Each structure stands twice: as structure tokens, then as C-alpha cells.
Amino acid sequence: NKAQAWSARFSEPVSELVKRYTASVSFDQRMARFDIQGSLAHAEMLAASGVISNDDLAAIQGGMQQILQEIEAGQFEWSIDLEDVHLNIEKRLVELVGDAGKRLHTGRSRNDQVATDIRLWLRNEIDISLGLLQQLRAGLAQLALEHADTIMPGFTHLQVAQPVTFGHHLLAYAEMFGRDAERLTDCRKRVNRLPLGAAALAGTSYPIDRERVARSLGFDDVCRNSLDAVSDRDFAIEFCAAAALIMTHISRLSEELVLWMSPRIGFIDLADRFCTGSSIMPQKKNPDVPELARGKTGRVNGHLIALLTLMKGQPLAYNKDNQEDKEGLFDAADTIRDTLTIFVDMVPGIRVRPEAMRAAALQGFATATDLADYLVKKGVPFRDAHETVALAVRECETRGCDLADLSVAELQAFHPLVGDDIHAVLTLEGSVAARKHIGGTAPERVREEARRVLAESANR
Ligand code: ARG
């Protein structure tokens, strides 16, 4: 059996099951473009260093160009006998250009080759997701600008707490996705280093120029230790951690969209194209997209744990365990990419029902804190003011009315320092407008912050 690149040493072929068990070509073929890019950079360096001839280089370049075309046209014949993307492409190269193709692997191993491919692939995914995160932030900020004055109840414990503006609420997510972008940007620095040159584990005796290869592939630096270069996947784990946080933020937003769209709450509506109906209940319009996004968070969290577990018991240097890094990593990247793409489309189309938000904010004594603060500003110690307002709320509950429904005289019965200016304080508008410090919910602040997010996301 001469099919495998390493088969000369073996006296019997592997079984069909073992072949399938150990092959990765079904999933690692998606790195083909990057595998070829890495091979070309390696070959150019070998020629520049005099390890292969310029004729060999030209033959490799021509062959690779054809292979790339075959792959892109869907005409490339992937073979499980050839195990993985690397050996499939190399075998085809030899078919096309003969000996020059056989010289490509000089000074290289699949161990440093695969680590390079994953990094090139992941760098591209990071750049795409970074763009999507900024688009999503821009969508949130635009909607926030339109709803800087729209008042809704803010919740703690899912109980009405204090009035906030809907714009302020949206900008909370713009902050979360901003930090997610920072995390990806930071992770990218450690992804963007070149393993090639590490060869199998110990480096190589050929006169290679790693810095040249790094430059031509756009890497910031080379990995400084050959054993580490081929064996660690911490950069992929970091990416999965960042992806898990992105999905966690998406999931929290999704949970709110689902709640807000419930007819019992009715704060928003989503465009029909993000919802589905029921096969039995004709009245239904279900928020499937946010629900599914919330659900898909679980699989990305799972990939993070799987990769951490994959790494923890491995002695240096490369072990075949590492082949298991790809499917989870690919799926994590696909999931955030698809989810963010859909949210970029969905968020600007959220239809807001300001009346429903306002009606909800008027229930549940959302301005009780404002009444307490009013008394404090008149000299009452905060704890006493808190107690006084609690008694007033209790009274309102028995009567079935709101604090704002009580007359000045009735409020004065709870505390003599209540004056004629009290009702301005008890309005929703007065409450949000008063919180105008940096990070506060006041409409003027929300407009300012939304414009900052818009400018920031346009710059990236
Ligand atoms: N398909 C392998 C992987 O994904 C490539 C490296 C194989 N190296 C080896 N020595 N078997 O990790």
C-alpha cells in the first residue's frame, strides 16, 4: 500500500475504520486556501535560500495555482486515503509537477504546517467577526439614537426598578460587544505568529529564513520555540473563550428580545423574516432566531471546554490529539459569524412600542427612589427617606394607585418636607433626565454615547 505518504515503513495497511478514524480531510479541507498560501511562502523562502532551484519554485507555483482553481471549482478529488488536507494537496502537486512537488516538504513537517494553516484561517475569521461586531454596535447605536427619549422600566430581579431610556438599554449591549471586539483584537496578536520552521518539533538543519516567511504571510513575529510552536493551541482556546463571551452577550440580548416580544409584555416586534409560525396554532409568531441564538450559545461554550480538555494532558510536543482541535474551533467561528450576521440584519429592524414601555414604567413604583432622593436633598438622612417612601408605597398598594396619584397634601402626611415641586420629581421624564452623569440614562447622555459608538464602529 503506497497510498499514504509514510507507508514505506509499514507492512500492513490500516483497516477501513482506522483510516476513517484517523483521517481529517473531511473537515480540514476547508483550510486548503491557507495551506496553499503557507506552502507558497515556504517554497519561495526555500528558493531564496538556495535549498530548491528557481525552476522548482516556478513549477510549485504553477501547480499550486492549478490546484487552487480545481478546489474552488469543486473539481478537486479529495481522498480519505491521503488522510488530511496537507497530503491531498501535496500528492496532487507531485502528480502535476513531479520532483519539484516532492521537494516542497523540505525543512517542513505537517506539524508546523497544520499549526500555520489554523492560524492563517483563524486570523481571517477573526477579521470577519471583528467587522460584524462593529456593524452590530453601529446598529444598536443607531436605534439608541432614535430611542434616546423612549422610556421603559429598568429591571432588577425582573421586577420594575427604575425608569431608563430604551436607548440606554441598547447601548449596554454596544458596550458588551465593544469589549468582545477588544478581546478578539487582543487574541489576534497571539494568533498572528508563525510556527513554520519548527518542522516536526526540533527545528530543521536547512538554512531557512523564518522571518521572511513570517513577513510574506503577514505574521507579526515567529514562534520563538519550536516545541511550543507545533504543540500548543492556546490561541485557539483564547478564541473560543472570546467566542463564548460573544455568544453569552448575544444570548442575554436574545432572552430580552424573546421576553419583550411576548404579547404579555409587547415592548417590541421583530420583522417576520426572523420569526416562524406554528404548525398547529394559527395565531403564533415565534421569535425563533433569538431563541436559537440563545441555544447555540451552549455549543460554543462546549467547544471551549472541549479544547481546554484536549490540551491539558498532552506532553510536549505534537500529539495526534491536536487533530481534534479543528471541528470545535470551526464550529465556534461559524456560529459566531452566522449569528452576528443575522443580528446585524435583525437589530435595525426592531419595531419599538414606546406606549407599551411607558405603560409598564408607570406601574411598579419606578420613581420611588426619586422620591427618597428628593427628601435627602431636603436634608433627610437617606435611610429615613427610604423608610418613609416604603410606607408611602405600601399605602399606594392598598389603594391601588401610583405615587404620582397622591396629592401634595397626602404625600406631606408621610413627610412634612414634601413641597409643591414634588410631582416634577415623580414623573418618568424627570427621573431619567436627572441621571445625566457619564454612563447615566438621561436622553442627552444617551445621544452623546450613541454618537461616540457610531464614530468608534465606523473607524474600525
Ligand atoms: N491532520 C493533522 C492534524 O490535524 C496534521 C498533522 C499530522 N501530523 C502527524 N504527525 N500525524 O493535526
The complex's ipTM works out to 0.97
Q: Which of 115, 98, 319 is nearest to 213 (CA)?
A: 115
Is the CB of residue 110 below 6 angstroms from any atom belonging to ligand 1? Answer: yes
The cell numbers describing 184, all together, are 478578539
Would you say residue 13 lies in a domain? Answer: yes
Are the CB atoms for 361 and 162 separated by under 8 Å? no
Would you say residue 233 lies in a domain? Answer: yes
Q: Are residues 344 and 235 in the same domain?
A: yes
Is the CB of residue 24 below 6 angstroms from any atom belonging to ligand 1? Answer: yes
Would you say residue 89 lies in a domain? Answer: yes
Q: Which atom of ligand 1 is nearest to the CA of 84?
A: 1
Q: Residue 81's domain spans which residues?
A: 7-106
Determine the residue type at 243. A
Would you say residue 136 lies in a domain? Answer: yes
Q: Are residues 341 and 385 in the same domain?
A: no
Separation of CA 58 and ligand 1 centre (Å):
27
Neighbours of 274 (CB within 10 A): 18
- Tell the residue nearest (CA) to atom 4 of ligand 1: 323
Separation of CA 69 and ligand 1 centre (Å):
25
- Residue tagged active-site, from 7, 262, 278, 407: 278
Q: Are residues 203 and 321 in the same domain?
A: yes
CATH number at residue 338: 1.20.200.10
Q: Are residues 182 and 64 in the same domain?
A: no
Are the CB atoms for 442 and 164 separated by under 8 Å? no
Is the CB of residue 84 below 6 angstroms from any atom belonging to ligand 1? Answer: yes
Q: Candidates 7, 87, 111: which one to mutate for ligand 1, based on the most atoms within 8 Å of Cβ? A: 111
Neighbours of 237 (CB within 10 A): 21
Q: Are residues 318 and 246 in the same domain?
A: yes
The cell numbers describing 51, all together, are 535549498
Q: Are residues 203 and 305 in the same domain?
A: yes
Q: Are residues 74 and 130 in the same domain?
A: no
Q: Which residues, given as ranges, of the chain have pLDDT below 50?
A: 1
Q: Are residues 271 and 329 in the same domain?
A: yes
- What distance separates the 2 farthest-apart alpha carbons in the chain? 100
The yes-or-no answer on residue 437 being catalytic is no
Q: Are residues 181 and 304 in the same domain?
A: yes
- Residue tagged active-site, from 157, 205, 279, 437: 157
Q: Are residues 319 and 421 in the same domain?
A: no
Instruction: Give the pLDDT confidence score for residue 1 in this predicted structure.
Output: 42
Would you say residue 152 lies in a domain? Answer: no
Are the CB atoms for 243 and 335 separated by under 8 Å? yes
pTM of the model: 0.94
The cell numbers describing 84, all together, are 488530511
Q: Are residues 197 and 337 in the same domain?
A: yes
Domain boundary pick from 358, 393, 422: 358
The cell numbers describing 250, all together, are 448575544
Q: Are residues 46 and 63 in the same domain?
A: yes
Q: Candidates 82, 84, 196, 319: which one to mutate for ligand 1, based on the most atoms within 8 Å of Cβ? A: 84
Would you say residue 45 lies in a domain? Answer: yes
Instruction: Give the pLDDT confidence score for residue 3 in this predicted structure.
Output: 58
Instruction: Give the pLDDT confidence score for residue 36 in this predicted structure.
Output: 98
The yes-or-no answer on residue 169 being catalytic is no
Is the CB of residue 301 below 6 angstroms from any atom belonging to ligand 1? Answer: no
Contacts of 444 by beta carbon, 8 Å cutoff, 6+ apart: 148, 433, 436
CATH number at residue 407: 1.10.40.30
Q: Which atom of ligand 1 is nearest to the CA of 326?
A: 4
Query: What gap in Å lies between CA 301 and CA 241, rounded to an integer?
Result: 8
Separation of CA 109 and ligand 1 centre (Å):
9
Number of structural domains the chain divides into: 3
